[in-house]
Amino acid sequence: MRAVFLVNPASGNGSTGKKWPKLAARAAELGLPGEVLFSERPGHLTELARSAAAPDTLLVAVGGDGTLNEVVNGIVGTGTTLAVLPNGTGQDFGRTYGIPQKFDDAVAVALNGTARTVDVGKVTFTATDGSRQVRHFASMGSVGMSGAVADRANGMSKALGGKATFYYALTRVFLAWKNGDVTTRFEGGERTGLMNNVVVANGRYAGGGMMLAPNAVPDDGLFDIVFFGDVSKLDFITTSPKLYGGGHLKHKKVDVVRSPWIEVESTRPLPIELEGEPSGTTPVRFEIVPAALNVRVPA
């Protein structure tokens, strides 16, 4: 199978571009040579992935979750196989599938791993210019405070790593955040009222290791939708450390439903994020696209 590396040199706080010559040489030494395509601007990897997509091609995404999201938007439904060499800040996609963070081990999975066919999320939302746009995501998206957290985290240096960066951004944003008046509709029901966040999960992790949806299954045709209600500062202090182990689900203001779609409206525009990337505002519709992505995962 022909291999094409899709490299985001800005990922990993700029470390990917600096290390790539040595990483490429090591990958070839391990048996994984290939053509290399570099991202030059936001959105460029989607274009590159779309042009390289083919059923007989292994696309190897080199970077973090933002890199992965751009690549996924270029190959959904094409039958192309995706492998991941993690070298970003969050690494949340890889956590769901057990993809190693050590380079040599990740190359071994790209070469010899099992191809798993999984669902993706399709999102129709309001862009900053007021138009309606459509994007896809592989792991997780959300509406509410986490959109503001993603925006703040992406404006910071990530030299301390994903966990520290996202938790610091979470804390700073929460102190000033006002929960939104939200109306949601999903298969079999609805939720309304003041909410802090609506997390729509196909994978389990976000924010550099927060296990927001510990029971999500990426190939069952359903989202795990986690509602964070009108949480207070005291709720945040007592519960935010539990986000990394899934303990937040026991909180009385947190609720989970499963559905193949959800629509979210709000009295004021609320930010959305997709795999850690700020993407637009409400109103927004999320829907599952079944079996739309082939991923190399550990055997």
As a whole number of Å, the end-to-end CA separation of the chain is 18
Residue 146 to residues 142, 154, 195, 261: CA-CA distances in angstroms? Answer: 7, 12, 12, 20
The residue count of the chain comes to 299
Q: Are 59 and 69 spatial neighbours (Cβ–Cβ below 8 Å)? A: no
Integer Cα distance of 169 and 110 in angstroms: 33
Bridging pattern class, strands 261-266 and 254-259: unpaired
292's tokens:
């739309």
Strand, coil or helix: what is 146? helix
Closest residue by Cα to residue 71 from 49, 88, 40, 51: 49
Active site residue 263: no
Integer Cα distance of 48 and 277 in angstroms: 19
6's tokens:
């899709």
Of 187, 265, 277, 287, the active-site residue reads 277
Active-site residue list: 277
